[in-house]
Amino acid sequence: MAVSVNNIAAAFCTVPVSSSSSSSSLNPKTLAVSVSPQPHISVSWNLHTSLPRSRRSSFINIYGGPGPAPLQAIPRFNCNRHQIREKPTRSMSISIGDKLPNAKVSYLDRKNRLRSVPISAIAKGKKIVVLGASVPFAPKCSQFIERAEETKSKNVDIVACVAMSDVFVMRAWGEHLRLSLGDKLMMLSDGHGELSRALGLSVDFSKSSDGASLGLGNRSRRYCLVALNGVLRSVRGGRF
C-alpha cells in the first residue's frame, strides 16, 4: 500500500502553483516535490508483469506496478483430497513369515451384537486380506478400500477393513461403500489402536497442522497385508 501511495505522489510531483491569488497574469511557478527513492521491488511473483504491454491494465501507468509479494504464503488445505502431509516411516514391526498379532478388533454382527475377537482368530485357516485405513469416509481411504473388489478373483476368504474408529462408523462406512463382496467383507473397529500399534503402523496426526485442523489424533496408517492361516505372506504399508 505504501508503494502505491508513493507512486501516486510521484505522478503529481510537479504541479503548477501561482505566486498569489491577485497575480493570475504572471507565469506560473513550479513547485518541486522531492520523493525519497524506494528500494527496488521484485514483482516476478505477480503474473500480471509477464503480460505483454498491450494487455496490461492502464492503471499501472497511473498507480505503478504491484507491491511486494506477501511475506509468507497462506497455507492451503484441499478438503476434497484430505491429504495429510505426514512423512512416511518404515517402523513396521511385522514382516513376511510372521504370525498376525493377537490384537483384538470389534464389529457388529447381523443381529447387531458386539463381537470382539483377535485378528489372528479371524485369519485362522483362511486366506485373508487386511486393509488398514486412517479416516473412514475420507475420499482417499474410500478409494483405497474400493480396490478390495479386485480380490474377488484371487480366492480370498475374507477382506477385513480396519480403522481406529467405533463399530457403528465402520458398519455405516461399509454400507456406504456398497462393495459387492457379500459376507467376505468385514468392517472391523480397532478403536483403541491395539492392532495398529502391534503392527507398528499407528501415527499421531495431531502433530500435523492439517491433521489438527481436521480433528485427527492417533490413527492407523494406510496399509494392505495378506495372510494365509494367520501367517503373513504379503505386506505393504507405512503411508497414510
pLDDT score, position 26: 47
One domain for residues 54 and 132: no
Instruction: Provide the grid cell at 108.
Output: 457388529
Distance CA 14, CA 34 (A): 9
One domain for residues 206 and 118: yes
pLDDT band per the 50, 70, 90 thresholds, residue 208: low
Residue 79 is among the residues annotated as catalytic for this protein: no
Overall domain count for the chain: 2
Q: Within a domain: residue 88?
A: no
pLDDT, tens digit, 9 for 90 and up, residues 221-239: 888 889 999 999 988 754 4
Q: Which residues constitute the domain of residue 225? A: 104-239
One domain for residues 111 and 207: yes
pLDDT, tens digit, 9 for 90 and up, residues 86-103: 443 446 677 889 999 999
Whether the pLDDT of residue 13 is over 80: the answer is no
Distance CA 130, CA 235 (A): 9
Q: Within a domain: residue 96?
A: no
Max CA-CA distance within the chain? 111
Q: Within a domain: residue 178?
A: yes
One domain for residues 115 and 169: yes
pLDDT score, position 210: 59
One domain for residues 155 and 38: no
Task: Output the domain CATH number for residue 166.
Answer: 3.40.30.10
Q: Could you please report the per-residue DSSP string of 185-219? A: EEEEE-TT-HHHHHHT-EEEGGGSHHHHHTT--EE
Q: Within a domain: residue 207?
A: yes
The angle subtended at Cα 105 by Cα 103 and Cα 110, nearest 5°, is 150
Q: Within a domain: residue 79?
A: no
One domain for residues 130 and 201: yes
Q: Within a domain: residue 126?
A: yes
One domain for residues 229 and 150: yes
Q: What percent of the chain has pLDDT over 90?
A: 18
Mark which of 10, 43, 63 sits at the end of a domain. Answer: 63
One domain for residues 129 and 231: yes
The mean pLDDT value for 31-44 works out to 49
Place of cell 503402523: 201
One domain for residues 139 and 30: no
Catalytic residue among 13, 79, 141, 161: 141
One domain for residues 130 and 210: yes
Asked which of 24-28, 110-114, 126-130 is least confident by mean pLDDT, the reply is: 24-28
What pairs with residue 115 in β-bridges?
Answer: 107
Q: Within a domain: residue 72?
A: no
Whether the pLDDT of residue 144 is over 50: the answer is yes
